[in-house]
């Protein structure tokens, strides 16, 4: 094993998911009140997101999302894209108040980097690059710590599609046996084990919507994960 894949929200970025979602949709929908009620707008976004998650074509996630949204909003799409961009440049920063910093995860990344492991952010690529880069900064880590970061613009699949993980492996020229997937979402992150990756479930902000049993190789708190990476061999 020489490559560690990290989920972002709830893993590298400890977060109050309910508060995050509330702040996110409030901030974003407030830019569209002249076009839609908040309820109408949130439904539009969720419907386009669901279509994107289900899409397994060669389209990027951005293309799949905008195609689904455009099929409903028609000529408003370009104006909506402009307002999305403005939101992520400015008001998205307000969502940071839902973040809880984890000294253990910052230290764990430092330990792994010093030991020579390839580090990857395998966040569900539903957000544009600017939003992902901001969330990486909120963790207290640097974008340069990671060899690869998934994004809305560049990736073609979403969790829990196995193709999401296959694309990362292909881009990095890695095998499943090279990799450990670390995440807090049983359904979305631990599914990487189906490809042959080892898995580590972070339990602090554990999410398990389906309640279906899922094979997991390791699990523990942020502190447990830090001890785990301290025990890993150095590759340098």
pLDDT at 113: 97
- Among 96, 130, 154, residue at a domain's last position: 96
Predicted local confidence at residue 15, as pLDDT: 87
pLDDT confidence of residue 18: 86
> Do 176 and 70 reside in the same domain of the chain?
no
104 falls within a domain: yes
62 within a domain of the structure (yes/no): yes
129 & 183 share domain: yes
Say whether both 31 and 8 belong to one domain.
Answer: no
- In this structure, the dihedral spanned by the alpha carbons of residues 25, 31, 32 and 33, taken in order and rounded to 10 degrees, is 90
Around Cβ 236, how many Cβ atoms within 10 Å? 6
End-to-end CA distance of the chain: 13
Final residue of a structural domain among 96, 129, 152: 96
| Same-domain status, 174 and 154 | yes
Torsion on CA atoms 105, 108, 113, 115, rounded to nearest 10: -170
Any domain includes 73: yes
Judge contact between 183 and 216, C-beta under 8 A.
no
Instruction: Report the alpha-carbon distance of residue 216 to residue 201 in Å, rounded.
Output: 7
Q: Select from 96, 85, 83, 76 the least CA-distant residue to 24.
A: 96
- Phi first, then psi: give them for residue 12, nearest 5 degrees: -70, -30
In a domain, 236, yes or no: no
CATH of the domain at 144: 3.40.50.1000
111 and 10 in a common domain:
yes
Same domain, 214 and 143: yes
> Do 11 and 43 fall within a single domain?
no
Contacts of residue 104, Cβ cutoff 8 Å, sequence gap at least 6: 222, 223, 225, 226
Backbone torsion region of residue 106, taken as left when φ is above 0, otherwise alpha when ψ lies between -120 and 50, otherwise beta: alpha
Judge whether 89 lies within some domain. Answer: yes
**Structural domain total, the chain:** 2
Using only C-alpha atoms, the chain has a radius of gyration, in whole angstroms, of 18
Tell me: do 110 and 226 sit in the same domain. yes
Distance, CA of 139 to CA of 145 (rounded, Å): 12
Are 135 and 190 in a shared domain? yes
Of 47, 74, 96, the position where a domain reaches its end is 96
25 and 65 together in one domain: yes
Structural domain contains residue 77: yes
Q: Which of 183, 149, 186, 140 is nearest to 168 (CA)?
A: 149
Q: Give domain status of residue 214, yes or no.
A: yes
Q: What is the pLDDT along the chain (236 residues), one digit of tens a residue?
A: 999 999 999 999 998 888 999 999 999 999 999 999 999 999 999 999 999 999 989 999 999 999 999 999 999 999 999 999 999 999 999 999 999 878 999 999 999 999 999 999 999 999 999 999 999 999 999 999 999 999 999 999 999 999 999 999 999 999 999 999 999 999 999 999 999 999 999 999 999 999 988 999 999 999 999 999 999 999 98
Beta-sheet pairing, 3-6 with 179-183: parallel
Say which residues have a Cβ less than 8 Å from residue 29's Cβ, sequence separation at least 6: 36, 38, 41, 42
Asked whether residue 217 is domain-assigned, the answer is yes
Same domain? For 127 and 167 the reply is: yes
Gap between the Cα atoms of 125 and 153, Å rounded? 8
User: Within this chain, do residues 63 and 168 fall inside the same structural domain, yes or no?
Assistant: no
Residue 156 · residue 130 · CB < 8 Å: no
What range defines the domain where residue 192 resides?
A: 3-16+100-231
**pLDDT at residue 100, as a whole number:** 84
């Amino acid at each position: 094993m020489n490559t560690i894949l990290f989920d972002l929200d709830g893993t590298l970025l400890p977060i109050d998911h309910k508060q995050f979602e509330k702040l996110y949709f409030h901030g974003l929908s407030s830019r569209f009140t002249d076009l839609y009620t908040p309820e109408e707008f949130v439904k539009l976004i969720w419907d386009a997101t669901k279509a994107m998650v289900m899409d397994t074509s060669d389209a990027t996630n951005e293309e799949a999302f905008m195609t689904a949204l455009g099929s409903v909003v028609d000529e408003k799409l370009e104006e909506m894209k402009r307002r999305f961009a403005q939101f992520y440049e400015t008001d998205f920063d307000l969502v940071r108040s839902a973040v809880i910093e984890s000294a253990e995860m910052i230290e764990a990344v430092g330990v792994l980097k010093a030991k020579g492991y390839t580090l990857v952010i395998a966040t569900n690529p539903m957000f544009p690059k600017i939003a992902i880069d901001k969330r990486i900064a909120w963790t207290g880590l640097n974008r340069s710590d990671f060899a690869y970061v998934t994004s809305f613009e560049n990736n073609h699949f979403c969790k829990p599609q196995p193709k999401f993980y296959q694309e990362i492996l292909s881009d990095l020229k890695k095998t499943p046996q090279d990799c450990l997937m670390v995440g807090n979402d049983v359904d979305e992150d631990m599914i990487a084990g189906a490809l042959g990756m080892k898995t580590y479930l972070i339990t602090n902000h554990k999410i398990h919507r389906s309640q279906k049993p899922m094979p997991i190789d390791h699990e523990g708190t942020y502190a447990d994960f830090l001890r785990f990476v301290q025990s890993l061999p150095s590759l340098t």
